[in-house]
Amino acid sequence: MSGTPQFSVVSGATVHDVLDGHEQDIVDLVARAYSAHGRLQTVNPPSYFLRFPDRPDSRIIALPASLGAEFGVDGIKWISSFPANITSGLPRASAVLILNDHDTGYPFACLESSIVSATRTAASAALAADRLHAGRERPRRVTFFGTGLIARYIHRYLSGTGWEFDTISVYDHAAEYARSFADYVSGTGHSDTVVVVDDAETAVRTSDLIIFATTAGEPHVKDVEWFAHNPTVLHISLRDLSPEIILSSTNIVDDVEHCLKAQTSPHLAEQAAGDRSFIDGTLYDVLENKVRIPADRPVVFSPFGLGVLDLAVGAHVYSEATRRGLVTPVPGFFHDLSRYA
């Protein structure tokens, strides 16, 4: 940044337009961000949770981060989760992403970020699903636990990166949500493969790839025997599985320190086991072929969600939107720029 600092806004419509149809490119981008993080070229402090005594199920989270290497951008995501929104037809989560200039620290853009957040989460899930099956046959039966925005984006990113399924099972505690999600999936060209499942046990036992994208606050899937067929689990919502299931599985996380906190299932497993030896590695380790994925145990990927991924996707959106002339400058946003006015 040189000269007078400028500040711009990037709308959700623009974010969508820039990202839509580029699933493999974004997965590759997220892989590079994970590589930068694994090589210690990032700063990714703990997330900060704003909670409300009168609304215990709601929260707003701040994810500050700095992403070096090829990216050179700092910033923060401010994302709210209000599950009660669903009953009024609003999405559970809303967010903004602030990008800061790496040299001056001046914020230069604000992006609508629920789409950025869902995209980086889905790209991370698709990346993990792909690399965890490197050299192995991809699963043909998938189940979605939870049927909101994140589930929709994960389905889009799996489809957009070449995954094909014989059966797509859908399970949600609310039958109407399950039916709506099944209708959505059917409308994307999978009408002959979608099944709404009425009970959690059947949903687990009949799938080889299981995706948890719920709002669960504590474990609700507890029977180790349900996983005797050794499926791959994308444990996106982090709090669905009992410690016993975690301890009986191969466990891959995005970042050990981030994931083993805030009463996540891996955190509960650490408390039960007394140590962290059940963690087999990070996704970066998988990308670098430092971890062998066995076929005789369930494999669970538990990503806490790293702010550096939001920066990678957000900076890409800003750059491309600027190239297309789609950002909205805010004239005079920085007003008093003289040290001695």
Percentage of the chain beyond pLDDT 70 is 99
C-alpha 194/C-alpha 324 separation (Å) is 38
**Comparing 132-136, 231-235, 246-250, which segment has the lowest mean pLDDT?**
132-136
**Token pair recorded at residue 180:** 């709506």
Which one is the CATH code of 8-116+307-329: 3.30.1780.10, 3.40.50.2000, 3.40.1390.20, 3.20.20.370?
Answer: 3.30.1780.10
- Reply yes or no on whether the pLDDT at 341 is more than 70: no
Whole-structure pTM value: 0.94
User: How do residues 210-230 score in pLDDT, each as one tens digit?
Assistant: 999 998 989 999 999 999 999
- Reply yes or no on whether the pLDDT at 271 is more than 90: yes
C-alpha 317/C-alpha 312 separation (Å) is 9
Domains 8-116+307-329 and 121-302 share a fold: no
User: Where are the domains positioned within the chain?
Assistant: 8-116+307-329, 121-302
Task: Provide the pLDDT for residue 2.
Answer: 54
C-alpha 126/C-alpha 130 separation (Å) is 6
Give me the CATH topology for the region 121-302: Rossmann fold (3.40.50)
Specify which residues 112 forms β-bridges with.
Answer: 96
Residue 275: other Cβ atoms inside 10 A: 7
* Per-residue pLDDT band at 241 (split at 50, 70, 90): very high
User: How do residues 98-112 score in pLDDT, each as one tens digit?
Assistant: 999 999 999 999 999
User: How do residues 43-62 score in pLDDT, each as one tens digit?
Assistant: 999 999 999 999 998 999 99
Nearby residues of 8 by Cβ (< 8 Å), 6 or more positions away:
108, 109, 110, 318, 322, 327, 328, 329, 330
C-alpha 240/C-alpha 219 separation (Å) is 4
Longest dimension (CA), the chain: 71
